[in-house]
Chain A
């Protein structure tokens, strides 16, 4: 999952990014509302965590502009403003969720999972494809009940593919959702990691899940 963090306090911004990356998210961060808007319009994020009190544009303005343009990126406000009025205003402006500082990281992570669950239409945190299961909470991946060990990047890639199962995804799209801006390599990296995944997931099984769609990209589905 690729997440955007917009928080003007450097220290807090840093630790949130650090923690989310430790949870195997691809994370981008910025420090003001204008940048947040630019990032959100440039890339399709799986979710964004926005502070409200930020310089240039405040969080409410960012969400308002985003929603007016039809952008449906799931957004959670993370803010010190705690009154009922603030919460109502934040949610009615267009955010999907509202979390007050100081917050528990576990809660933030759970809310992110909840938002993305809804977005993908998955009823629980466990994504399945035939005998392949991926638990978004514990990050445990199993095929035929046998646990598979993945690196952080491999996990992030697999989670993205599973959440968009049966959809054909271009290399660009995959890269956008699995790697953040810091990565500067070409789209080749996607092919490389697909190979790694195939080795760990499909090898040794009759039914393959990861398919190449010539000229377009990849698709995760049960082979027919």
Chain B
């Protein structure tokens, strides 16, 4: 069976339904009205006969039919007979109807040709004279709706209406479904060109297709962002790797061509080794970072005593005392929270290490943890060299280092530290913030929402 468009399907179903519905309704109405009419007819038959019965009596041995006797009303013919069959008044459409045997108070039907008549007789008894019969005759199918002109007109109109409805329905279905064409076209464009910046553009009329298009647009935006992040990440990463490699190669060339003597060769090899470590360190950090981002690294949240965890991490760094810097803690005790231990520790460590790295000699680092009604706040403050206002928004980017040309005691930083802090905070449903005044110091805050 050939594939049908939704438009066709809708129209066909709709038309079929309409046909069935109208047929059923039509038949139902016909039946009901038939029976109603039938009831009415019988009612009229009986009532006319009964009414007329009062108008017939014997007067001085003569049959007296009052002027109020109605011979024909509402399709009911009324006749008066005596028990011998002699007719005194009235007429019926067919003689057969007049010659039917009498039955008292019983409606019976008589078919004449295609028509059906109802006959109702009422007996008037008389002591002195022959009994009289009042007979009512009415055409049963005469009042039926099925033969009325209205009925026939409707019968003709209905198919026409159905056809019109079908055509109209087809067109309207088409209009409503038109946006689907746009949606599939846009999706196809994106698929073939790989240009994720395209969006589906349809008028806002609030209906389901508009919602669908918006949902798709949001998905495309997210994909675009992810791909862009991925692209810039790999480009940043390769940039970061190229420089140490360039240094290694340059050192090798120097060693081959210009080094005079063992000492210089030794120095060159040392420099190459340093770069080797750097690359290795970079690769490890990148993998770690990627795994965390893609969440292939398993994150396991447990309810921990956060105060103790923070104290523990601080303790490790307190004892290092690099650059003569002191680390003080203001940790509110007994704070319990659900975190991934490893990631949370890493986050805190990164913040503390940064504070050391950018701190001044003999300075102070303050780590504080507190809990308020709606948040748990961790902050690391230092009195180091600070961050310039125009760089403050960039520090959370990957590979961003405020002052790249410094070399630090433990090898150059990679610029991933804060990006990781932000990522970890966000994985816990929180957010990060940094405030700083150049040369005075900085405060890094991680705010985690209170558990419900």
Contact = CB atoms under 8 A, between A and B. Distances in A.
A53 B246 contact: no
A12 B247 contact: yes
Given A101-B242, A102-B242, A15 B247 contact: yes
Nearest to B251: A15
Interface string B30-62: 000000000000000000000000000000000
Nearest to A102: B246
Interface in B265-282: 271, 274-275
Given A80-B238, A101-B243, A101-B246, A22 B254 contact: yes
Interface in B219-245: 238-240, 242-245
B398 to A, nearest CB: 13
Contacts, number: 71
Interface stretch (B112-120, B122-130, B366-374, B403-411): B403-411
A136 interface: no
B160 interface: no
B250 interface: yes
Contacts of B274: 11
Q: Is chain B's binding surface mostly helix, strand, loop or mixed?
A: helix
A10 interface: yes
Interface string A8-51: 11111011101100110000000110000000000000000000
B258 interface: yes
B249 interface: yes
B253 interface: yes
Contact of A55 (B403, B407, B412): B403
Nearest to B258: A22
A209 B175 CA distance: 92
A104 interface: yes
Interface string B388-419: 00000000000000111101000010000000
A105 interface: yes
A193 interface: no
B405 A15 contact: no
A16 to B, nearest CB: 6
Contacts of B405: 8-10, 31-32, 55
A81 B253 CA distance: 22
A196 interface: no
A215 B404 CA distance: 47
Contacts of A181: none
Contacts of B249: 102-105
A194 to B, nearest CB: 27
B254 A19 contact: yes
A105 B244 CA distance: 15
A30 B352 CA distance: 30
Interface residues of B, number: 26
A81 B234 CA distance: 12
A81 B238 CA distance: 9
Contact of B243 (A9, A55, A105): A9
B239 A19 contact: no
Contacts of A104: 249, 253
A12 B254 contact: no
A224 interface: no
Interface in A117-143: none
Nearest to B399: A53
A87 to B, nearest CB: 14
A29 to B, nearest CB: 10
Contacts of A80: 238-240, 242-243
A18 B258 CA distance: 9
A106 B253 contact: yes
A216 B258 CA distance: 37
Contacts of A16: 250
Most chain A CB atoms below 10 A, which of B244, B246, B274: B246
A19 B407 contact: no
Contacts of A101: 242-243, 245-246
B404 A55 contact: yes
B277 to A, nearest CB: 11
B275 A11 contact: yes
Nearest to A54: B404
A86 to B, nearest CB: 10
A18 B242 contact: no
Contacts of A12: 243-244, 246-247, 250
Contacts of A18: 254, 258
B254 A103 contact: no
A45 to B, nearest CB: 20
A105 B250 contact: yes
A102 B258 CA distance: 19
B156 to A, nearest CB: 73
Contacts of A102: 242, 245-246, 248-249
Contacts of A53: 239
B254 A15 contact: yes
A81 B239 CA distance: 7
Interface centre among B243, B248, B271 (most CB of A within 10 A): B243
A125 B243 CA distance: 30
A41 B242 CA distance: 29
Interface string A56-83: 0000000000000000000000001100
Contact of B407 (A10, A81, A106): A10
A145 B3 CA distance: 91
Contacts of B242: 80, 101-102
Contact of A15 (B250, B257, B402): B250
Interface of A: 8-12, 14-16, 18-19, 22-23, 31-32, 53, 55, 80-81, 101-106
Given A15-B254, A55-B405, 20 more contacts: A11-B247, A12-B243, A12-B247, A12-B250, A14-B271, A15-B247, A15-B251, A18-B254, A18-B258, A53-B239, A55-B402, A55-B403, A101-B245, A102-B245, A102-B246, A103-B249, A103-B250, A104-B249, A105-B249, A106-B253
10 contacts: A9-B244, A12-B243, A12-B247, A23-B258, A55-B405, A80-B243, A101-B246, A103-B249, A105-B253, A105-B254
Smallest CB-CB A-B distances: 7 pairs: A31-B405, A80-B239, A102-B246, A22-B258, A101-B246, A80-B242, A105-B253
